[in-house]
A = this chain, B = another copy of it.
Amino acid sequence: MLKYEEVALKIRTLLENGIYKTGERLPSLEQLKADYHVSKSTVIKALEILEKEGYIYQSRGSGIFVRSPKRSGYINLFTSNGFTDDLKDHRITSRVIEVCEIKTPNTELQQRLHLTKQETVYYVQRVRYIDEKVLCIEKSYFRRKLIPYMSEDIAKGSIFQYIEDNLKINIGYSDIYFQISTLNQEEALLLNQTDGAPTLRYEQVFYTQTGVPFDYSQIVFEQSSAKFYIPSIK
């Protein structure tokens, strides 16, 4: 664990256990620096992490404030890196429907993933569950150029963990677009819903830390188990 992650972990523990309370002001940068015997830039990095997780809000000039704790079971869409990470208190499992290579990606895929003409992609379709309840259907397209191997076994677990740990790809950021929609017959069947049930139709492109797109995913959610949270700022 890096120094700043260690400091973040310590402060997070104090926040989660109510030592620092909602609305309270955290100690100043200088104070935290002295408390943890680290450099100012280490404190800044630690606070950045906690800000992104929605624990604190850093106000220019007024200090650092403790935010309200996130309600349990909601997916944080701002730091979402797949669901596994964010819903760590819940059991996320997957049923693999299909894993195959697409030799001739369509125009939409070419555009979203910035594919060159010769490039192919892996296609993975999964139904995902939260605490044994169906959560969503996920259709993901991975660039073979970056993800040279994919299998049903890998898709059963966390694909992102595989990408980070085995392929040593540093995941950077993602663009999320979504809108209100209804399920078609095929989707409804997989989600145990009725044809035409309300859903959220969701698209996400994931990029590496150097801005290279490697995963384009389309997701539809089951109405009752999908709940979302965003720690928004002005």
Could you tell me which A residues sit within 8 Å of B by CB distance? 22-25, 45, 52, 54, 57, 59-63, 65-68, 70-71, 74, 77-81, 114, 170-182, 197-200, 204-205, 207, 209-212, 221, 223, 226-234
- Knowing A66-B211, A210-B62, A233-B172, the reply to whether A71 touches B180 (Cβ < 8 A) is no
Establish whether residues B231 and A175, one from each chain, have CB atoms under 8 Å apart when the complex forms: yes
Tell which of A45, A52, A54, A178 has the most Cβ of chain B within 10 Å.
A178
Residue of B nearest to A80 (CB): B232
Tell me the bound Cα distance from A77 to B232 in angstroms: 7
Given contacts A172-B233, A180-B200, 18 further A-B contacts (CB under 8 A): A54-B175, A57-B211, A59-B170, A59-B210, A65-B172, A68-B175, A68-B205, A74-B177, A173-B231, A174-B232, A174-B233, A178-B227, A180-B198, A180-B226, A181-B198, A181-B223, A197-B198, A230-B230
